[in-house]
Every structure is written in C-alpha cells, then in structure tokens.
Amino acid sequence: GRLALKGLRVGLFDWELDKGEHRLRLGHLFPNPLPEIWYVRCSHPLCREADRLRRVVKEYNLEFIVFDSVGYACDGPPEGAEQAMRYFQSLRTLGQVGSLHIAHVRGAQEGGDLRPFGSVFWANSARSTWNIKPASREAEEGRLQVALHHRKYNMTGRMRSVGFEL
C-alpha cells in the first residue's frame, strides 16, 4: 500500500483469499486514500500461471508484486527442491519487477522461523528474507504490534529489525 501511495504500480497475485477480502483488509490499513493495487486471483501453480501473469505485468506496467502465498503457488509439496526451483524459474520469466513472496515458516521447531517452510532452496533462491512475528502475545483490542527480522541478505548487509503497529 505504501509503495502504491508513493506512485509505484503494485500488483497482488493471490492464491489464498479473494478480491473482496483483500479490499476489506486494505481499507482497514489505508482508509483514505485507498491505494491502487491490481488484484489477480490465481488458481494454478505459478509455473502454469506465469504466461498469464507476465501479460498482466506488461499490460499494467507493474513495478512491484506481492505473491500470497508461496506454498499454494507450488505445483507439488513445498518440501521438494524441484518445487522451489521451478517457482523461482517461473518468477524470473515475469521480467524485471520487484516482488515480495509470503511464505509460512516451520512452527514449533527450534529455529523454525529462520527459513521459509519447505526445501532449503526457498531461502537459498531468495535475495533477502524477512521474518514477521508478533511483537508480544498480548495485543490491545484492534491493535497488533509486529516485528520484522532480516534473516537472509545477499545484496546488502543485515538490516536492523523494525516494528510496526497496525
């Protein structure tokens, strides 16, 4: 939303919810003005959606895309290295566009939040990974505090953790 309000052309490629649900959530985060974000519902793995999504990127001249969620965009179990590699190969066919890929982490295991769930290639293929966690277990009604931790960095040094209140 913030990128769109700064003038970037942003898209949301979604495998989980629907346009109405995302519109409602966006309105809660940005009541006025509502940022313009191009929503695309996806129902097949990224490797099968890539041609259609490449056309969307070109038609709307998208500069940044959010992919929600990586596990659902796989063409098989995310634990397999083949799925992670095929996902990133398909992603590269979309052209030079910035992107954010939302993925789940391994829950209760020690260090489970250090990497995305599945094959090590999810972390290895990404240029940078961040982990988002609740800042505390006790939240005020209607407010959520989250902390973002930089877990992997290829092109930059490690960035400091940051917090937000929603």
In this prediction, residue 151 carries a pLDDT of: 87
In this prediction, residue 133 carries a pLDDT of: 84
Winning range, highest mean pLDDT, from 25-29, 104-108, 126-130, 154-158? 25-29
Amino acid identity for residue 101 in this structure: H
Helices 46-60 and 81-92: crossing angle in degrees, nearest 10, is 20
Distances (CA, A) of 93 to 19, 25, 90, 120: 25, 30, 5, 22
Q: What is the pTM of this model?
A: 0.83
Q: Report pLDDT digits (tens) over 31-40.
A: 899 999 999 9
Q: Report pLDDT digits (tens) over 118-150.
A: 778 887 788 888 888 887 766 667 788 899 988
